[in-house]
Structure formats: C-alpha cells, structure tokens
Structure 1
Amino acid sequence: MKLTAEMSLYPLQEDYIPVIKSFIEAAAAQQEITLVSNAMSTQVCGDWDPVMQLVNSCLRASHERFGKQVLVCKFIPGELEIAG
C-alpha cells in the first residue's frame, strides 16, 4: 500500500535553515521514496512502511543533532502525483 506524507519542520532556534536542509537531505537519501520539496513543505511518497520509517528516523536524527523542533505532518493514504 502506498502512502504520501507532507511534512513541515519548524526548528525551535534562530538558525533554522541548516536544520531544515539537513532534514531534507536525510529524507532524500532514502531509497525507493519520491521526494519533492518547496518553500512550504516536503512531500514524500512510497510504500507505507518505508515512508513511516523515514519520518521516524529523520525526525529522531534531527532532534538528536539539533534539539527541539516541531514536525507537522499530513498523511494521505495512496500515491499522489507530486510535482517538483
């Protein structure tokens, strides 16, 4: 089963751009995931378990490296056409 997740990361610090870039780079490194990023969010699409694992691993790694942050995530069951 396919899953699409739309994520927006809000680091709770002044220098937030490196935190967001690091999160997106980690997500983009995942195999078999389609990723599109824009100024407002990052969308990932793939099989259900790898998408959920991506959200878990990327948020955990980002928190361990950079500290407190908020991740707003919308989950849409199914595969959406996401345009870059």
Structure 2
Amino acid sequence: MQLSIEISKYPLTEHYIEPIKGFIELLNQKPELHVITNTLSTQVFGDYDQVMAALSEGIRWSFERYGKVVFVVKFLHGDLRP
C-alpha cells in the first residue's frame, strides 16, 4: 500500500532551524522514499511501512535530541506526489 504524508515540525526552541534541517536530512537518507520539502512542510511518499518506519525513527530522534517538538502530520492513502 502506498502512503503520502505532509509533515510540519515546530521545535519549541529559539534555535529551530537545525532541528528541522536534521529531521529532513534523516528522511532524505531513505532512498526508498520520495521527499519534497518547501517552506511550509515536507511531503513524503512511498510504501506505507517504509514511510511509517522513517517517520517513527525521525520523531524519536527529534524528541531524544531536542526535547519538546510539535509535529503536525496529514496522512493520505495512495501516492499523491505531484
């Protein structure tokens, strides 16, 4: 099954750029995923299990490394990449 997600990350810190860039870099290290980043969000497309595994890994990494972070995620069934 294919999955499309749109995710926005909001680190609760004054220095928010590094945590966001690090999260996006983690996603981009997954060659099985198609990642599109813009100024408002990051979109990830791929196999359901692979997308969810990468998302879980990235969120855990963010919490462990940066503490309080807010994630807003939309999940859509199918591959809806432009």
Say whether the fold is shared (TM-score over 0.5).
yes
Counterpart CA distance in 1 for 2:15 and 2:77 is 34
What secondary structure is seen at the aligned counterpart in 2 of 1:75?
strand
Calculate the aligned-residue CA RMSD, in Å: 0.7
What secondary structure is seen at the aligned counterpart in 2 of 1:36?
strand
Aligned to 2:19: 19
Aligned residue identity for 2:61:
A
Q: Which runs of 5+ in 1 are unaligned?
A: none
1:62 Cα deviation after fit: 1.1
Count residues with an aligned counterpart.
82
Identical amino acids, percent of aligned pairs: 46
Counterpart CA distance in 2 for 1:81 and 1:15 is 31
Counterpart CA distance in 2 for 1:74 and 1:55 is 12
Aligned residue identity for 2:34:
T
Counterpart CA distance in 1 for 2:63 and 2:28 is 17
Counterpart CA distance in 1 for 2:81 and 2:19 is 27
What secondary structure is seen at the aligned counterpart in 2 of 1:15?
coil
TM-score by length of 1: 0.94
1:81 Cα deviation after fit: 2.2
Q: Which runs of 5+ in 2 are unaligned?
A: none
TM-score by length of 2: 0.96
Aligned residue identity for 2:79:
E
What secondary structure is seen at the aligned counterpart in 1 of 2:30?
coil
Counterpart CA distance in 2 for 1:29 and 1:71 is 20
Aligned to 1:70: 70
Aligned residue identity for 2:78:
G
Counterpart CA distance in 2 for 1:34 and 1:12 is 27
- Which 4+ residue blocks in structure 1 deviate beyond 4 angstroms? none
